[in-house]
Amino acid sequence: MKYNMVDLVGQYEKIKPEVDEAILKVMEEASFIGGPAVKSFQGNLEEYLGVKHVIPCANGTDALQVALMALGLKPGDEVITTSFTFIATAEVIALLQLTPVLVDVEPDTYNIDPRAIEKAVTPKTKAIIPVHLFGQCADMNAIKKIADKHGLFIVEDTAQAISADYTDPETGMSQKAGSLGDIGCTSFFPSKNLGAFGDGGAIFTNRDDLAAKMRIIVNHGMAVRYYHDYVGVNSRLDSIQAAILDIKLRHLDEYSAARLKAGRYYNNSFADNPKITTPVTAAYTSHVFHQYTMVLNGVDRQGLMKHLADNGIASAVYYPVPLHLQKAYLDPRYKEGDFPVTEKLSKSVISLPIHTELTEGIQKEITDAVLEFVNKA
């Protein structure tokens, strides 16, 4: 492929001296777990996000699991989330023997639909997990109102939207994605917007009680060495990853700006084409374009992907199967047709390469190739 979905090599080359020095320092100190690099990154991320506590952990899936463990939910408690997301969101609910309650998304933003949440609340509902999908925030003001009304926790899945800003339409106040609910969770998987050179994740909260509990849970439920207060897990961010992330955090705003510029280029290129519906950014959020995902109207998706591949251009489908139709999650409560927006999106979305190293020249080649196929189809 001439153009991949991400360009991690190109991104690394630009910061190579800084990153290499930081990695070598960790090796020389040989403090591979929980060393100064982890403390430094934790503090810098707290400041960047404007949250009181960041708890680093091993990956984004663990972050979600630990968040739910800290809320003290019991088997059978219901957790509402979107039917259109990466599986990790629902996986942790199922693993903890909680009941995932899926709801449909909005057709223009692809994010969880607050009206559908409201309808799904029952006396067993304990939490909502909004996913800020593809890089823009879900409708948090509406979601918070539902949570307040019914006394529910909010755990934000910010794996795809770190650095996105949410602006409350009532107060005009802006906050970072992940700092709006009770707990925020993110992933530092290499292809995420703030990506490590391996796995990594973090949990955010402004609540001292939850922070203290989560710090204990990620460390085998151990507050005092060899005394275990909770059933915990082993979930740590290693020092080399933290040192790399600390460097990349300094560049995160540049990275987000580059992604936004690339997203706008695609939006403009496809704006007037009836065969393509470009993604809509809601008024209350910025977009950090973790993915550039658009909807095809009556275009042979498989054919377009092949045409792009023949031209050396990668493309992908996020996500081809909605959660309620996944084999492992089949459930008599749900059947095909239950979530029409999600189901239509699964059949008609396509994602184009988007990352920090795109140039207008590359994007023109990509959009020309897309339009060539779409217009003759």
Ligand X SMILES: *Cc1c(COP(=O)(O)O)cnc(C)c1O
The C-alpha atoms of residue 352 and residue 5 are separated, in whole angstroms, by 7
User: Residue 337 carries which side chain, given as an amino acid letter?
Assistant: G
CB 285 within 8 A of CB 156: no
The one among 189, 277, 305, 365 contacting ligand X by CB under 6 A? 189
- Work out whether 201 is an interface residue with ligand X (CB under 6 A): yes
Task: Give the Cα separation of 377 and 361 in Å (integer).
Answer: 25
Binding mask of the shown chain, residues 327 to 356, with x at each position contacting ligand X by CB under 6 A: ------------------------------
Q: Which residue is nearest to ligand X (CB)?
A: 60
Q: Smallest gap, in angstroms, from Cβ of residue 119 to ligand X? A: 23
Find the shortest distance in angstroms from Cβ 136 to ligand X. 13
CB of 91 to ligand X, least distance (A): 9
> Is 86 a binder of ligand X (CB under 6 A)?
yes
Segment 152 to 171, residues that bind ligand X, using CB under 6 A? 157, 159-160
Can residue 204 be called a binding residue for ligand X (CB under 6 A)? Answer: no
Q: Does 60 bind ligand X (CB under 6 A)?
A: yes
Instruction: Give me the least distance between CB of 233 and ligand X, in Å please.
Output: 13
HSE-CB at 186 with a 13 A cutoff on CA atoms is 32
DSSP code, position 21: H
Where are the strands (E) in the chain, listed by range? 53-57, 78-82, 99-103, 125-129, 153-157, 165-167, 174-176, 183-187, 201-205, 222-224, 227-228, 276-277, 292-296, 349-352
Whichever of 77 and 199 has its CB closer to ligand X, that residue is 199
User: Nearest approach, Cβ of 156 to ligand X (angstroms)?
Assistant: 10
Q: Judge contact between 376 and 313, C-beta under 8 A.
A: no
- Contact call for residue 61 and ligand X (CB under 6 A): yes
Q: Considering beta carbons, is residue 132 or 144 the nearer one to ligand X?
A: 132
Cross-strand partners of 53: 205
Q: List C-alpha distances in Å: 45 to 60, 136, 255, 290, 347.
A: 15, 19, 16, 19, 37
- For residues 221 and 232, the answer to whether their CB atoms sit within 8 Å is yes
- Give me the DSSP letters along 145-166: HHHHHHT-EEEEE-TT-TT-EE
Q: Tell me how far, at minimum, the Cβ of 346 lies from ligand X, in Å.
A: 15
Q: Does 32 bind ligand X (CB under 6 A)?
A: no
| Residue 258 binds to ligand X (criterion: CB under 6 A) | no
* Residue of 163, 187, 267, 291 interacting with ligand X (CB under 6 A): 187
Task: List all residues 6 or more positions away from 264 whose beta carbon is below 8 Å from its beta carbon.
Answer: none
Q: Single out the residue of 131, 152, 249, 313 in contact with ligand X (rule: CB under 6 A).
A: 131
Compute the least distance from the CB of residue 160 to ligand X, in Å: 5
Tell me which H or E stretch contains 372.
helix 360-376
User: What string marks each residue from 89 to 128 as x (binds ligand X by CB under 6 A) or -?
Assistant: x---------------------------------------
In whole angstroms, the minimum distance from the beta carbon of 224 to ligand X comes to 29
Determine, following the binding rule CB under 6 A, whether residue 292 of this chain makes contact with ligand X. Answer: no
User: Distances in Å between the alpha carbon of 133 and those of 193, 315, 350?
Assistant: 12, 18, 14
Q: Position of tokens 């391996």?
A: 198
| Choices 10-18, 82-90, 219-227, 306-314 (CB under 6 A): range interacting with ligand X | 82-90
The least CB distance from residue 132 to ligand X, in Å, is 8
The piece of 84-92, 226-234, 246-254, 299-307 that touches ligand X (CB under 6 A) is 84-92
Q: Angle at CA 344, nearest 5°, toward 341 and 349?
A: 110
The contact set with ligand X (CB under 6 A) reads 59-61, 85-86, 88-89, 131, 157, 159-160, 187, 189, 199, 201
